[in-house]
Structure 1
Amino acid sequence: MRRTFHDGNVTRYPESHFLDIVVDGRALSDSLPGSRGLVTPLNRAWLPGVERAIDELLGVRPADGLDIGRIFLFVCGACGDLACGAVTARLQVGTELTTWSQFAWENGYEPPEPIENAPASLAFETAQYEDALAGAIGRLRLLPYDELAHHGRRFLWPWQWGWRLPKNGD
């Protein structure tokens, strides 16, 4: 996902490279209404927070801003903030099956809005679900990431400019 961001006199084009959720060979972002233009919390730009997102998807830790038992599936690609709107689901983790249900659009300040035409539920074998998430950080590290595009201009000290002092006699 690519967007345009104006930072003073500089226009940046940060790209969000993220791991999409694939169900029965089809990207969930293409098939779940309301998720177009959003990204999963498994986003390369947010690598330091991905471990927390994985814990939330596993049901180990509650998701900030959501009711207990709900998880983020898709969030704003610019900031990941709930206030921009997010696609969420009810998570139930069992020994054999992990289930997502009650898909909704939430923003944290209005009541959750059920997503029309969403599946009643999606079920995954718990072992496969956990295995897929276990390798997420390694796969994310392989995705492209342009720190300058995401964090803007940064100050460089003179010794970081790339020039070298001439050697004696040059």
Structure 2
Amino acid sequence: MLLDVSPESEKRVLLYICPECGDVACGAYSVLVRRERESYVWEGFAYQTSESDLKSAETVGPFIFDASMYKDSVLAASAIE
């Protein structure tokens, strides 16, 4: 999900969700991810308990990642067991 973002759009991605039940209603942290030419940008961090109940974390981000390093890091992290 962290890689599946087109340059024309942005996508809200869950970064952390309740480890016991996996339900957003317990609370989750999410971020808007967008792709630029040579980078990925994380912005619009929020705490949420549903799709429509977002509490913005305005003092966090944005964070900009080099696209090739970002892709390598996401793929490496997904291989961790």
Q: 1:109 to 1:93 in 2, by over 3 A?
A: closer
| Structure 1: stretches of 5+ with no match in the other structure | 1-55, 61-67, 142-170
Could you say which residue in structure 2 is the equivalent of 1:84? 26
Which structure has the higher relative contact order (CA within 8 Å, separation 6+)? 2
Structure 1 residue identity aligned to 2:3: L
Work out whether residues 100 and 122 of structure 1, in 8 Å CA contact, stay in contact via their aligned partners in 2: yes
User: Where is the helix percentage greater, Structure 1 or Structure 2?
Assistant: 1
Contact 2:44 2:58 survives alignment (8 Å):
no
Aligned partner letter, 1:135: A
Q: What's the CA shift for 1:93? A: 1.3
| Rg (Cα) greater in structure | 1
Task: Report how far residue 127 of structure 1 moved.
Answer: 0.7
Structure having the larger proportion of residues in strand: 2
**Number of matched residues?**
77
1:136 aligned to 61, 73, 77, which one? 77
Equivalence map 1:15-54=2 (5 Å) = none
Q: Aligned residues: percent identity?
A: 29
* Other-structure match for 2:2: 57
TM-superposed deviation, 1:92: 0.3
Structure 1 segment 83-162 matched on structure 2, within 5 A: 83-108=25-50, 110-119=52-61, 121-139=62-80, 141=81
Question: What RMSD in Å do the two structures reach over aligned CA positions?
Answer: 1.9
Gaps of 5+ in 2: none
Q: TM-score, normalised by structure 1?
A: 0.41
SS at match of 2:79: helix
SS at match of 2:37: coil
Superposition deviation, residue 116 in structure 1: 4.7
Calculate the TM-score normalised by the size of structure 2.
0.79
